[in-house]
Every structure is written in structure tokens, then in C-alpha cells.
């Protein structure tokens, strides 16, 4: 095996290891949120009426808008990977920047949503929240924990994509070496999928 073939083989093994590592990480994330979804389901079954009443405090329009934002961001992230595969560096960078902008838009909406709840006195430990029924207190406890943790993942994802954008600009990510960008894309798709479950659980309770 000559030097070039050895280098290609080494890169191929690194790519496989990177993909396996990312899938393992995503599996642990699924376990984390899966446990929370299970906990939510149990509490909702036990407090169906209170959960329904509490859900009316949430802004469904903002939830719908944020869902549209994240679905669009998944598309732009996938397009950035397709663009680099076709050796269109400039277009890939553009789609990555758009994805980051959409992530920031999601967090801005979430900030205003949470701020409104705080202005209404609905936040963990507040007298207003503690005066509500136990089931409603549970609902908002789960709401802040689960959407807050998801928001943290959005921020991490945006930073990660920002690093990938820098790598793309510097030529670290190319049409022949895009596994890092692909891994960031998988993480971002997971963030979107989690929200697809969170949105109906909290905003569309019937």
C-alpha cells in the first residue's frame, strides 16, 4: 500500500469512527429526552384536566412559528451538506449561516415567550404558580425543564454549526471531507425532532 492509499484508508477509518461516535451520542440524547417524555406521559395521565387548563397559558401561535423555524433550519442544514458535496463552498457557507440565524430566531421567540410568563408571575417558585392546582404546577415544571433543556441544545447546536462554518471557510471541510459537517447536521436534526414532540405535548393538549 502506497502513501496515498494509506492516507485515504486512515481518513476512511476516522470517518467511520466519527459517525459511530455521533450516533452513540445521539442515542444517549434520545434516552435522556425519552425518559422525560415518559415522565410527562405519566403525569399527564394522572392530571389530564389540570394539564389541559395549564396549556391554555401557552402561546400556540409562537409555538407554531418556532416549529416552522426549526423545520426550515433542518432543510437549510441539509442543503449546506449537499452543497459542499457538490463542491459549492460558498453556497454551503450561506446555508450554514441561514441555519444559525434561524436558531437565533427560535431563541429570541423563546425568550419573549418565557418573559411573558415571568411577567404574569408564572415561573418556578412564584406565588402565582404555587397558588394553582398541583397538576398545573407539574405542567409548568415540566414545561420549563424540558423546553429549557431543548433551548440549551439549540444554543449548543448553533455554536457547533458556527464552528463548522469556520472550518468550511478555512477549507477543513471540503467535498472530500465533510463528516464533521454531516455530524453537526445529525445533531441539529435531533434538536428539531425533539421539538416536533415537545410542541404538541405542551401546546396542543386537547
Residues in the chain: 206
Are 79 and 95 in contact by the 8 Å Cβ rule? The answer is: yes
Give the whole-angstrom CA distance, residue 60 versus residue 133.
Answer: 22
Alpha helices in the chain (DSSP H): 3-46, 48-55, 60-85, 89-119, 127-130, 134-170, 179-203
Are 173 and 165 in contact by the 8 Å Cβ rule? The answer is: no
Sign of CA dihedral 153, 23, 75, 68: negative
Are 109 and 66 in contact by the 8 Å Cβ rule? The answer is: yes
Task: Report in angstroms the alpha-carbon separations of 161 from 7, 51, 165, 182, 202.
Answer: 27, 36, 6, 10, 28
- CATH architecture of residue range(s) 3-203: Up-down Bundle (1.20)
What pLDDT does 13 receive?
Answer: 58
Rounded average pLDDT per 10-residue block, the chain, 206 residues: 45 61 79 92 94 93 95 97 96 98 97 93 91 94 96 96 96 91 94 94 84
What pLDDT does 21 receive?
Answer: 73
Give the whole-angstrom CA distance, residue 159 versus residue 34.
Answer: 24
Amino acid at each position: 500500500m502506497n502513501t496515498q492509499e494509506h492516507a485515504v484508508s486512515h481518513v476512511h477509518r476516522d470517518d467511520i469512527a466519527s459517525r459511530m461516535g455521533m450516533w452513540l451520542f445521539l442515542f444517549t440524547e434520545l434516552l435522556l429526552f425519552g425518559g422525560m417524555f415518559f415522565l410527562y406521559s405519566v403525569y399527564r395521565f394522572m392530571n389530564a384536566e389540570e394539564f389541559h387548563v395549564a396549556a391554555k397559558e401557552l402561546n400556540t401561535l409562537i409555538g407554531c412559528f418556532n416549529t416552522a423555524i426549526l423545520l426550515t433550519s433542518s432543510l437549510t442544514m441539509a442543503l449546506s451538506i449537499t452543497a459542499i458535496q457538490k463542491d459549492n463552498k460558498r453556497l454551503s457557507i450561506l446555508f450554514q449561516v441561514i441555519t444559525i440565524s434561524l436558531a437565533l430566531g427560535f431563541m429570541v421567540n423563546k425568550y419573549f415567550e418565557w418573559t411573558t410568563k415571568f411577567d404574569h408571575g408564572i415561573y418556578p417558585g412564584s406565588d402565582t404558580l404555587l397558588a394553582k392546582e398541583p397538576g398545573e404546577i407539574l405542567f409548568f415544571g415540566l414545561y420549563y425543564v424540558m423546553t429549557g433543556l431543548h433551548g440549551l441544545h439549540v444554543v449548543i447546536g448553533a455554536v457547533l454549526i458556527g464552528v463548522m462554518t469556520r472550518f468550511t471557510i478555512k477549507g477543513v471541510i471540503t467535498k472530500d471531507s465533510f463528516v464533521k459537517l454531516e455530524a453537526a447536521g445529525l445533531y441539529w436534526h435531533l434538536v428539531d425532532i425533539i421539538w416536533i414532540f415537545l410542541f404538541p405535548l405542551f401546546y396542543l393538549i386537547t
